[in-house]
Amino acid sequence: MKNESRKCRSRKTCQYKITVESYLDQNWSQWFDGFQIEPKEDGETVIIGDVHDQADLHGVIKKIRDLGLHLVSVEQLCCRPQQKVKKCKRSMVNE
- Residues of 3-18 as b/e, b for ≥16 C-beta within 10 angstroms? eeeeeeeeeeebbbbb
Task: Tell me the pLDDT tens digit for each residue of 6-64.
Answer: 343 456 788 999 999 999 998 998 889 889 999 999 999 999 999 888 899 999 999 99
Model-level pTM?
0.71
Largest CA distance in the chain: 66
Residues forming a β-bridge with 5 = 91
Which regions of the chain does DSSP assign to beta strands (E)? 2-7, 12-20, 36-39, 45-51, 71-81, 89-94
Q: Stretch 74-83: mean pLDDT, rounded?
A: 79
Q: What is the pLDDT of residue 81?
A: 73
Strands 36-39 and 71-81: what pairing? unpaired
